[in-house]
Amino acid sequence: AQSVAQPEDQVNVAEGNPLTVKCTYSVSGNPYLFWYVQYPNRGLQFLLKYITGDNLVKGSYGFEAEFNKSQTSFHLKKPSALVSDSALYFCAVRDIGPTDSWGKLQFGAGTQVVVTP
Amino acid sequence: DAMVIQNPRYQVTQFGKPVTLSCSQTLNHNVMYWYQQKSSQAPKLLFHYYDKDFNNEADTPDNFQSRRPNTSFCFLDIRSPGLGDAAMYLCATSSDGTMQETQYFGPGTRLLVL
């Protein structure tokens, strides 16, 4: 089965500094990788995904992620963090289901990002 | 704006009293999903509908049921809620179920069981 790991429970960063949230994956075949953000008492909001093509994926709210096949990583980055970026971030991989064309999302455990003024 | 809507946002029920959570979508997506999320943990898939075809996860308790009367609406029924069923319930949709398709989530319904 496909899986992702988020090694950090929490990331603390000062406003204006670069933000990185780490994610590593384990897949057989092509990886389909996603990042979501969740604000308190809200649903998950889609940020970006990697399917194929350029290793640098740009997404919503100034976020980007770099797909690194040799390191099996898909780290989320933002050049300059805002206090409003404080939230819970989930990395996810599409698992292979009964047929190769379908699969459910396997989420990482989540990383809490705290941006201080 | 096209979106996924969940009502109510907060639901309080009593131990053992059936409760229904609702989800609607204006995206005209074929697939609708229900997830359970506890205490900022990763969401756990309960089941999904591909059009009218129901797909239950192997470890979803029988206490949880779902209905999808049409493309736009999907309901989660908890027949006899226990204290352990208190959680955030998330509805999501995708155009189809293929590997590259994005799932779009609603705001969630937080269920409290007294």
Summarised one tens digit per residue, pLDDT across range B57-85 is 999 999 999 999 999 999 999 999 999 99
Q: Is the pLDDT reported for residue A79 higher than 60?
A: yes
- What's the full length of chain A, in residues? 117
A5, β-bridge pairs: A24
Residue B98 and residue B114: Cα distance in Å, rounded? 39
Token reading at B20:
């229904």
Q: Do A101 and B99 touch (CB under 8 A)?
A: yes
Q: Is the pLDDT reported for residue A67 higher than 90?
A: yes
pLDDT of residue A41: 83
What is the chain B residue with the closest CA to A46?
B104
Asked if residues B80 and B18 have their Cβ atoms less than 8 Å apart, the reply is yes
- Cβ-based contacts of A36 with chain B (< 8 Å): 105
